[in-house]
Chain A
Amino acid sequence: MDTLNYINNGHGLASWLLTKDHKRIALLYLVSITFFFFLGGLFAFMIRLELLTPAGDVLTAENYNKMFTMHGVVMVFFFLIPSIPAVLGNFLIPIMIGAKDLAFPRLNLISWYIYVLGGIFTLVAALSGGVDTGWTFYTPYSTAAANSHVITAALGVFITGFSSILTGLNFIVTIHRMRAPGLTWFRLPLFVWAHYATSLVMILGTPVIAITVLLVAAERVLHMGIFDPALGGDPVLFQHLFWFYSHPAVYIMILPAMGVISEIVQAFARKNVFGYSFIAFSSLAIAIIGFLVWGHHIFVAGQSVYAGMLFSIISYIVAVPSAIKVFNWTATIYRGSISLDSPMLYAFGFLGLFTIGGLTGLFLAAMGLDIHMHDTYFVVAHFHYIMVGGAIMGYLGGLHYWWPKITGKLYSEPAAKLAAGLVFIGFNLTFFPQFLVGYLGMPRRYHMYPPEFQVFNVMSTLGATILSVGYLLPMFYFVHSIFRGKPSPADPWGAKGLEWEVPSPPPTENFAVTPIVTHGTHQYAPSKEVGVV
Chain B
Amino acid sequence: MFTNFPFFPQQASAQAGQVDAIYFFMVAVTAFFSILIAGLVVYFAFKYRRRHRDEIGHAIHGSLALELLWTVIPFFITMVMFVWGAKVFFDMYRPPAGAMEIHVVGKQWMWKVQHMDGRREINELHVPVGRPVKLIMGSEDVLHSYYIPDFRVKADVIPGRYNVLWFTATRPGNYHLFCAEYCGTKHSGMIGTVTAMEPADFQAWLSGGRADESPVAAGEKLFADLTCNTCHLTDTQGRGPMLTNLFGKQVELQGGGTVTVDEAYIRESIVLPQAKVVAGFQPLMPTFQGLVTEEQLLQLIAYVRSLSQQGEAPGAAPQSPTMPQSSSRPVVEKK
Residues of A within 8 A of B (CB): 56, 61-62, 65, 132-134, 136, 138, 140-141, 144-146, 229-230, 232, 234-236, 269-272, 274-278, 299-302, 305, 308-309, 312-313, 316-317, 319-320, 323-324, 326-328, 330-331, 333-340, 348, 351-352, 355-356, 359-360, 362-363, 365-372, 374-376, 436, 439-441, 443-456, 494, 523-527, 529-530, 533
- Residues of B near A134 (CB, < 8 A) are 182
* Segment of B147-155, B205-213, B246-254, B324-332 in the binding face: B147-155
B135 to chain A, nearest CB (A): 13
Q: A362 touches which one: B6, B66, B78 (CB < 8 A)? A: B78
Cβ-defined contact, A369 with B45, below 8 A: no
* A330 with B41, Cβ < 8 A, contacts A337-B56, A372-B149 known: yes
Other 19 A-B pairs with CB < 8 A, given A352-B41, A372-B19: A132-B185, A136-B182, A140-B141, A229-B160, A275-B62, A300-B145, A320-B78, A323-B74, A333-B40, A335-B58, A352-B34, A366-B82, A366-B88, A367-B88, A369-B26, A440-B9, A447-B187, A448-B188, A529-B61
Query: B281 an interface residue at 8 Å Cβ cutoff?
Result: no
- Residues of A near B9 (CB, < 8 A) are 439-441
Query: B317 an interface residue at 8 Å Cβ cutoff?
Result: no
Cβ-defined contact, A368 with B58, below 8 A: no
Among residues of A, the one whose C-beta sits closest to the C-beta of B38 is: A352
Distance in angstroms between the alpha carbons of A120 and B81 in the assembled complex? 44
- Residues of B near A372 (CB, < 8 A) are 19, 149, 152-154
Which of A146, A331, A370, A372 has its CB near the most chain B CB atoms (within 10 A)? A372
- Residues of B near A336 (CB, < 8 A) are 44, 48, 57-58
Query: B184 an interface residue at 8 Å Cβ cutoff?
Result: yes
Query: B221 an interface residue at 8 Å Cβ cutoff?
Result: no
Cβ-defined contact, A320 with B85, below 8 A: no
Residue-wise, chain B 12-36 has the 8 Å CB interface mask toward A (1 for contact) of 0000001100110010011001100
- Residues of B near A452 (CB, < 8 A) are 4-6
Could you list 6 A-B pairs, sorted by A, with CB under 8 Å?
A270-B57, A301-B181, A302-B161, A330-B41, A338-B57, A441-B178
Cβ-defined contact, A132 with B184, below 8 A: yes
- Residues of A near B61 (CB, < 8 A) are 272, 274-276, 527, 529, 533
Distance in angstroms between the alpha carbons of A136 and B143 in the assembled complex? 13
Q: B176 touches which one: A141, A441, A456 (CB < 8 A)? A: A441
A62 to chain B, nearest CB (A): 5
Residue-wise, chain B 154-175 has the 8 Å CB interface mask toward A (1 for contact) of 1110111101000000000000
- Residues of B near A229 (CB, < 8 A) are 158-161
Residues of B within 8 A of A (CB): 1-2, 4-9, 18-19, 22-23, 26, 29-30, 33-34, 37-38, 40-41, 44-45, 48-51, 54-63, 66-67, 70-71, 74-75, 78-79, 81-82, 84-93, 108, 141-143, 145, 147, 149-150, 152-156, 158-161, 163, 176, 178-189, 272
Among residues of A, the one whose C-beta sits closest to the C-beta of B94 is: A305
Cβ-defined contact, A317 with B78, below 8 A: yes
- Residues of A near B33 (CB, < 8 A) are 355, 359
Q: A271 touches which one: B51, B59, B149 (CB < 8 A)? A: B59
Cβ-defined contact, A300 with B85, below 8 A: no
Distance in angstroms between the alpha carbons of A300 and B86 in the assembled complex? 13
Distance in angstroms between the alpha carbons of A306 and B5 in the assembled complex? 38
Which of B41, B55, B141 has its CB near the most chain A CB atoms (within 10 A)? B41
A229 to chain B, nearest CB (A): 3
Distance in angstroms between the alpha carbons of A525 and B60 in the assembled complex? 10
- Residues of B near A359 (CB, < 8 A) are 26, 29-30, 33-34
Cβ-defined contact, A334 with B44, below 8 A: yes
Distance in angstroms between the alpha carbons of A369 and B86 in the assembled complex? 9
Distance in angstroms between the alpha carbons of A276 and B179 in the assembled complex? 47
Cβ-defined contact, A271 with B56, below 8 A: yes
A436 to chain B, nearest CB (A): 6
A144 to chain B, nearest CB (A): 7
Q: B154 touches which one: A61, A327, A363, A374 (CB < 8 A)? A: A374
Cβ-defined contact, A328 with B183, below 8 A: no
Cβ-defined contact, A324 with B60, below 8 A: no
Q: A451 touches which one: B4, B59, B62 (CB < 8 A)? A: B4
A201 to chain B, nearest CB (A): 22
- Residues of B near A337 (CB, < 8 A) are 48, 50-51, 55-57
Among residues of A, the one whose C-beta sits closest to the C-beta of B141 is: A145
Which of B61, B78, B156, B159 has its CB near the most chain A CB atoms (within 10 A)? B61
Cβ-defined contact, B143 with A312, below 8 A: no
Among residues of B, the one whose C-beta sits closest to the C-beta of A321 is: B71
Cβ-defined contact, A366 with B84, below 8 A: yes
- Residues of B near A447 (CB, < 8 A) are 187-188
A55 to chain B, nearest CB (A): 11
Cβ-defined contact, B142 with A524, below 8 A: no
* A375 with B145, Cβ < 8 A, contacts A335-B60, A352-B37 known: yes
A417 to chain B, nearest CB (A): 14
Q: B23 touches which one: A56, A236, A365, A369 (CB < 8 A)? A: A369
Cβ-defined contact, A309 with B143, below 8 A: no
Cβ-defined contact, A140 with B2, below 8 A: no
Cβ-defined contact, B142 with A141, below 8 A: yes
Among residues of A, the one whose C-beta sits closest to the C-beta of B78 is: A316
- Residues of B near A362 (CB, < 8 A) are 26, 29-30, 78, 81
Distance in angstroms between the alpha carbons of A433 and B154 in the assembled complex? 22
Q: B60 touches which one: A274, A305, A327, A453 (CB < 8 A)? A: A274
Q: A366 touches which one: B22, B92, B188 (CB < 8 A)? A: B22
Distance in angstroms between the alpha carbons of A324 and B88 in the assembled complex? 28
Among residues of B, the one whose C-beta sits closest to the C-beta of A145 is: B142
Cβ-defined contact, A65 with B185, below 8 A: yes
B179 to chain A, nearest CB (A): 7
Cβ-defined contact, A526 with B59, below 8 A: yes
Q: B75 touches which one: A312, A320, A453 (CB < 8 A)? A: A320
Among residues of A, the one whose C-beta sits closest to the C-beta of B30 is: A359
Cβ-defined contact, B179 with A443, below 8 A: yes
A478 to chain B, nearest CB (A): 25
Cβ-defined contact, A436 with B7, below 8 A: yes
Distance in angstroms between the alpha carbons of A450 and B2 in the assembled complex? 12
A358 to chain B, nearest CB (A): 9
B305 to chain A, nearest CB (A): 21
Cβ-defined contact, A441 with B149, below 8 A: yes
Cβ-defined contact, A355 with B40, below 8 A: no
Distance in angstroms between the alpha carbons of A56 and B59 in the assembled complex? 58
Distance in angstroms between the alpha carbons of A31 and B89 in the assembled complex? 47
* A327 with B70, Cβ < 8 A, contacts A278-B62, A309-B86, A359-B30 known: yes
Cβ-defined contact, A355 with B34, below 8 A: yes
Q: B158 touches which one: A235, A439, A444, A455 (CB < 8 A)? A: A235
Among residues of B, the one whose C-beta sits closest to the C-beta of A146 is: B184
Among residues of B, the one whose C-beta sits closest to the C-beta of A328 is: B67
Cβ-defined contact, B29 with A331, below 8 A: no
Cβ-defined contact, B89 with A348, below 8 A: no
Distance in angstroms between the alpha carbons of A340 and B44 in the assembled complex? 11
Cβ-defined contact, A355 with B180, below 8 A: no
Cβ-defined contact, B45 with A338, below 8 A: yes
- Residues of A near B63 (CB, < 8 A) are 274-275
B331 to chain A, nearest CB (A): 25
- Residues of B near A312 (CB, < 8 A) are 82, 85-86
Which of B79, B153, B186 has its CB near the most chain A CB atoms (within 10 A)? B186
Q: B90 touches which one: A305, A331, A454, A529 (CB < 8 A)? A: A305
- Residues of B near A525 (CB, < 8 A) are 56-59
Distance in angstroms between the alpha carbons of A360 and B31 in the assembled complex? 10
Among residues of A, the one whose C-beta sits closest to the C-beta of B144 is: A141
A155 to chain B, nearest CB (A): 21
